[in-house]
Structures are given as structure tokens and as C-alpha cells.
Structure 1
């Protein structure tokens, strides 16, 4: 065989080998594998939990709502979850609520949901949804008994005329994720709610020492944060969060994030 013939044969063999190698990437098996990788990536994106933050007010409006929204925006970016904000109560319908793992009531006040919207939210919780209440989330829906039990209590009063005071807090449950890293005792400034109609089934996380400030109405067992399973879902509430400063305070933000994780079911 001549040198030219050998050279041409070598080119043909190499070309066939290359085509066989390239076609292996187009085979059904590899196409499935590639699609599986894409699907897996899509699943990671889809799996990021979605949270609805609801801040409608029909009474006193806390200036700190805007600080709270900013805090949740940053938290979502840092912790890899999706957050949406609304004050539109019509968002509380069965189909829309299915998109979310938890709903945060951020300083809501007054009557904020209609009858059909209340029914949709009850269904959401009964299906395993989560609830997070911040500060004045207990100062709303006084005529909706189910909500009062979900939130864990209703607002009774706060000190006045000076409403933001310094007080001493005690961690009651040091083993719960929401209190991880907290000192056993600490002081902070906030508006300290007293409560009525406290649900006896709540699990208290943090309480306040009424001897450390004037105006408390709940005595030696004055809860400030708690959690409980309720009607098929999970609820976390903290009375902290009146001030703008709360929403840049690491202790408070870590507490809220862990409470959100509990509500989501993680």
C-alpha cells in the first residue's frame, strides 16, 4: 500500500472514531442524563421555599413595617428563600396560598381579612402551612377566635406614655433552634406587650421580667416569644419588633429566621 493510501485510510478511521464519539453525546441515554441534570437544577430552584409577608393595617400603623420588609428582603437573599410582600387581602385565596410554605403577619393591626379570606387561610394552615406573627400580629382579628388561638394570644396593652422601654428577658427553652446562641438573660429595648386570652398550648421560648420595667400585666410568666403546632400547621410568634432598630439587630433577626424555619417545617 502506498504512503498516500495509508494516509487517506488513517483520515477515514479517525473521522469515523470522532463521529462515534460525538454521537454518544446525542444518544437517548445521554440525552436523558443531560435532561436529568437540568431537571435536578430546576428542582433546586423550585424547592426554595416561598414566603408571603402580609402587613395590612386597619388601625395603628407601625413605622417599622418598612424596616421589616427590608430585613426580610435581605434575609431571603442570604438564606435562599423567596419572599413576596402584600397588603392586598384578596391574595388570601386557596390557589394563591398554595404557592407559599409560610405566611408572616408583619405588624398587622385591626380586621385585615374578610370571611372568605379567613376560610382560605384556615385551609392553608390545616394543609400544613406555617404562620409567623411579629409584634402587633396579636393586635388584629379580635373577633376571629381561630386566629387568636393560632397567634397564641391577643394584645392587652403596653406601657405608656413612654412605650419603648428597656427590659430584661429570660430564655425559657434554651434547646429550641429559635434561641440558639442567645444568652440565658439579656436586655433590650422595645415596646413590651401584655396579653390576654393566652392559648394554654403554646410553648414559651422567651419571657420578660416585669420587675425590670413598669407596666407589665402578665406577672411572673409573661411570654414574649412562643411556638406551637396548631390545627395541622405550625405557628411562631414574637412580641419583639416594634422599633426600626429591631430589624437590624442580629439577636432578633436570628430568632425570627429560626422561627420561620420552624413554621416552614424545617
Structure 2
């Protein structure tokens, strides 16, 4: 089990709502334990944790708090930063450079589409390629010379706005998403999915053995047998485990297309 520390601004909305959602999310994943605090002194030495999650905004950081969190990530700790974690804290140069960006503004809250780059499927596997949210589409300035690997963009006024990235910071990993204004986004399944996968990423967790899937029926119509097997092969973490069909001719077709290594059965 990975130990996670969540730091929020205060125990009132939207911070308390985020904490409640996040607690249920990580508990349901059965891979993490979570502590929640609004005491920024917890940043002075978070070395007991595998990752720190930040849903904070503005306020003050002491020098010990700033040195604590930046040193922690630089030495290999994971950091999951959400929405306003880059807002109102630009005076703390080391902190904001670690985050990588600074919030500079947004248009009014509205509905927009989010696009996720499939090139990141190896490290953020099986995320939705697109989804729609009601949120703030952030504008941000880049505050680091290190490369930011943008994994998602929002479509706002017909333009693509960068809204999420990964970066390395010393030996540590940083995941940032600009989504997360309030409960309308907190309850969104795709937002929750990226938080869990981002958390796994910054903790250095990888998928275990692939999920083996059996095809029952290798249908000839529209090439569905081949189509389904190709979709399995194209999905990271899945592999074709077996094919079952009562028609010997269809099993022979499956054997020709999938090879001798895939077990074939006439009776499930």
C-alpha cells in the first residue's frame, strides 16, 4: 500500500468536497492509504509518504515548507498537483518552478471538451480520449525550463488550451491537471480516472500481469472476430487469452489469424 498525503486549504467547500471525493477514490482503488490535512507544516517533512497531493490555492508558505516539499520531490517523492495548486503562489519561486506553471487567468466557468493525447497510454493507460466538463479553462505561464509533457488540452473558443502535463523534478515525478474547480468536476468519472492514474504514475506504480480476455464466438459477419481481437491487442494491459466457437470453420479462421499460441475451444 502506498501512503498518500493530501494537503487542502481548509475544511470547507470546495476543498472539503475534493477531500471527500479523493478519500473515497483512493480507498476504492485498494492500493493507497490517505491522510488529509490543512496544515502546511506537513510539507516540512513528508518523507513518510510515497506521494503528496495538493489541492491548495494562494496563502503563504514558510521557507521550511517550501524547502521541504521541493526537496522531497527532488529526492524521489511523487507530487499530484490539482487545479489551483499553481495559483497565487508565484512569489515562492522554487515551489512554482517545481509545479512548472503559474495560473494567470480564465474565462467564466463553462462547458468545454477535453482531449487526451493517446501517446501517453503507456504511462496513463486507458484514459478516455475525450470528455466534456463544466469547469474553468485555465490560462497558464510556464515557469520552468524543464520539459512539460502535455497529456491533455481543452477546446475553448475553437482553440486548444493546454490543461495537464507530466514532468520530472530531480528524481521525482509531477502530475498536474488544471481541471477541478468544484464538485461538478469532482464527480466526473474521467476526472477521477486521471487522478488515480496520475497518482499511480507519480508513485512509480506499473500495471501488473495483463488481463487475459477470451472471445466467445469468432463471428465472420463484418469481420467481428478479427475486429474484437484487434481491439484487445490495441488496449494496453489486455491480451487475447483464448477463442471459443462451436463452428470448426470459425476456429480454423481464428487459428489462421491469431496463431497457434492462442488456445482454441469448441465448448466453453
Q: Same fold (TM over 0.5)?
A: yes
Runs of 4+ displaced beyond 4 Å: none
- Seen in structure 2, the aligned counterparts of structure 1 residues 65 and 156 have a Cα distance that, compared at 3 Å, is same
Larger radius of gyration: 1
CA contact (8 A) 2:102 2:140 kept: yes
Question: Unaligned regions of 5+ residues in structure 1, if any?
Answer: 1-47, 213-219
**Deviation for aligned residue 1:168:** 2.2
2:51 is aligned with 1:102: yes
TM-score, length of structure 2 as denominator length? 0.70
Alignment of 1:186-197 (within 5 A): 186-197=131-142
Match of 2:59 among 88, 95, 111: 111
TM-score, with length taken from structure 1: 0.70
1:1-266 matches, cutoff 5 A = 48-56=1-9, 63-80=13-30, 81-94=32-45, 97-106=46-55, 108-159=56-107, 163-176=108-121, 177-178=123-124, 180-183=126-129, 185-199=130-144, 201-212=147-158, 220=159, 222-266=161-205
TM-fit CA distance, 1:125: 1.0
Which residue in the other structure is 1:23 paired with? none
SS of aligned partner of 1:208: strand
Whether the aligned pair in 1 keeps the contact of 2:137 and 2:156 (CA below 8 Å) is: no
Query: Alpha carbons of 1:99 and 1:197: their partners in 2 closer, same or farther (altered >3 Å)?
Result: same
Q: Distance in 2 between matches of 1:113 and 1:144?
A: 7
CA distance in 1, matches of 2:18, 2:186: 6
3-state SS, counterpart of residue 178 of structure 1: coil
5+ residue gaps, structure 2, are 206-268
Q: Distance in 2 between matches of 1:132 and 1:226?
A: 11
Relative contact order (C-alpha < 8 Å, sep 6+): which is higher? 1
Name whichever structure is richer in helix by fraction.
Answer: 1
**Which has more strand, going by share of residues?**
2
Q: CA RMSD in A?
A: 2.0
